[in-house]
Amino acid sequence: MPSMYVQNITIPVSTATPNESGVISAQTTYSFPTNVISAAASVASYSVSFGNTDHHLKTVGASVQVQTQVNSPTVTVSGSLQLIDNSNNKLNASSCTLVASIVAWAQ
């Protein structure tokens, strides 16, 4: 019978470089105790920052995805953050965090 696991996983976005749209993306892997049959991801928490100046927000966003591998306990978790102000300033990646909550069914 399959087991269900829930795990919060930090995605290392603080070392990413924003693209032209102000998006930073990163990924990491996590291994559950047994082979994963399927998995789902949601944003558990995130923080974004421009640094220490005042800005008028235009766009804020966060997303996560999870990919499984056949006959493997390891999943790959990817995530993206976006923050843009009305002057098109982009976020300061070194002060950003992103945590995904993964629900996995494994056996």
Dihedral, 90, 55, 43, 10 alpha carbons, nearest 10: 60
Instruction: Tell me what percent of the residues of the chain surpass a pLDDT of 70.
Output: 95
13: phi then psi, degrees, rounded to nearest 5: -75, -20
- What is the pLDDT at residue 106? 94
Cβ atoms of 28 and 63 within 8 Å: the answer is no
Stretch among 12-16, 52-56, 99-103 having the lowest mean pLDDT: 52-56
What pTM was estimated for this model as a whole? 0.88
CA–CA dist 32, 21 (Å, integer): 34
DSSP string, 58-105: EEEEEEEEEEE-TT-SEEEEEEEEEEEETT--B--GGG-EEEEEEEEE
Higher pLDDT, 90 or 98: 98
Domain ranges of the chain: 3-106
Fold (CATH) for 3-106: Immunoglobulin-like (2.60.40)
What average pLDDT does this structure show over 49-74?
A: 85
